[in-house]
A = this chain, B = another copy of it.
Amino acid sequence: MALSRAAIVDAGLTILDEYGLGDLSMRRVADALGVQAGALYYHVPNKQSLLAAIADQILSSLPTLPERVTSDDGGPGRVEGTQRHLTSWAHDLRAALLTHRDAAELVASSHALGLGSVDPTAEGRDLLARTGHPEPEATVAALLHLVLGHVVEEQTRAQMHALGVVEHFDPALAERHFRVGVATFVRGVAAVG
């Protein structure tokens, strides 16, 4: 099979899951594809753009929010609906990140650098804008940071635990802390003004 950008991204994702972000090198990706490292640069400009493409692939599995909010007429259930949707957006994002090793760190750096074509905040921002929130941009950015920061820590600690660097790690506790953090923020979103 001929080398292609898609095949490179795919091999990269496999190596990410198997060896982690720290051991994801261009040479290793090339090896997995039975090719010299230099060959990759015919299909991908550099390592960072490859990492961004892998981050995009991971984010592309994010479910789309139901559009119920749009058809809502602005009655008393509007704010509660927004809260629910924002909360499930955060939990969906976490779930998507947990499906691949070091995904949170990868997505966080790709997002900070402004690379990557999949914007995970798009849905949440639209949701807030539709419901008339005065600061959709800053609000969804803050929630994204909260989610990414939590999952980065969660995935790092889980790996250290798996590697025997004991440091007791309780997945259920991590999830509860996540829920509390998201709920706290979403309460603040509801209490605008």
Q: Chain A interface (Cβ within 8 Å of chain B)? A: 108, 111-114, 135, 137-139, 141-142, 144-146, 148-150, 152-153, 156-157, 160, 167, 176-178, 180-189, 191-192
Contact = CB atoms under 8 A, between A and B. Distances in A.
A137 B177 contact: yes
Contacts of A157: 112, 114
Contacts of A187: 187-188, 191
A142 B152 contact: no
Nearest to A134: B180
A104 B137 CA distance: 21
A150 B156 contact: no
Given A108-B149, A114-B156, 19 more contacts: A113-B156, A113-B160, A114-B167, A135-B180, A138-B178, A138-B180, A142-B146, A142-B150, A142-B184, A145-B149, A145-B150, A145-B181, A146-B149, A146-B185, A149-B149, A184-B189, A185-B188, A186-B188, A187-B191
19 contacts: A108-B149, A112-B152, A112-B157, A114-B160, A114-B167, A138-B176, A138-B178, A139-B181, A139-B184, A141-B150, A142-B149, A142-B177, A145-B148, A146-B149, A146-B185, A184-B189, A185-B185, A186-B188, A187-B191
